[in-house]
């Protein structure tokens, strides 16, 4: 009796084929997992960068001489707090021969802390100029903004810098 070869794979051939496929897929799965991790990190760095830009814009109008400490909400989840320390102490009088005549200025290091959902997220330090208008009545009454708060008028009904209202 003559035996005909059987069609198909033997059990041993199937096991060898599955082992080879598994060994080939391990590097691919590792690559996909690392790529997903890097994508998550990039998204976090991008979110932090955009938030830092927004915080810098929020801090732009803050006068560290008038407000050495404070906090403001950026949105429903993010809050910004700061603390300023003088790097160069404020000038004691007018700086003659400059366009800063009539202002007392100082240079400040401002430490800004950003928290998300009431948990610390990140912080950074920036440098800002603090100022006080010495020509207004507020400069002599202890008002750190120099009497030049929002909507106030300077001498002779002029706005800040001698400009009209």
- Give all strands (DSSP E) within 92-161, no chain letters: 103-116, 119-133
- In angstroms and rounded to an integer, the radius of gyration of the C-alpha atoms of the chain is 33
The pLDDT value recorded for residue 93 is 66
From residue 41, give the alpha-carbon distance in Å to each of 8, 24, 36, 103, 127.
Answer: 48, 27, 9, 46, 29
Q: What is the pTM of this model?
A: 0.63
Once rounded to an integer, what is the mean pLDDT over residues 76-90? 94
The pLDDT value recorded for residue 151 is 43
- Closest Cα partner for 150 from 135, 165, 129? 165
């Amino acid at each position: 009796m003559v035996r005909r070869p059987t069609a198909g794979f033997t059990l041993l051939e199937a096991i060898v084929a599955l082992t080879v496929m598994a060994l080939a897929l391990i590097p691919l799965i590792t690559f996909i997992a690392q790529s997903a991790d890097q994508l998550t990190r990039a998204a976090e760095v991008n979110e932090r960068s955009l938030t830092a830009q927004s915080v810098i814009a929020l801090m732009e109008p803050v006068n560290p001489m008038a407000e050495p400490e404070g906090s403001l909400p950026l949105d429903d989840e993010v809050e910004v707090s700061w603390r300023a320390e003088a790097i160069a102490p404020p000038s004691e009088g007018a700086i003659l021969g400059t366009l800063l005549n009539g202002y007392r200025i100082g240079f400040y290091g401002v430490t800004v802390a950003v928290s998300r959902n009431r948990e610390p997220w990140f912080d950074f330090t920036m440098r800002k100029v603090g100022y006080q208008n010495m020509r207004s009545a507020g400069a002599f009454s202890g008002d750190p903004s120099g009497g030049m708060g929002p909507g106030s008028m300077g001498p002779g009904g002029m706005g800040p810098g001698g400009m009209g209202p």
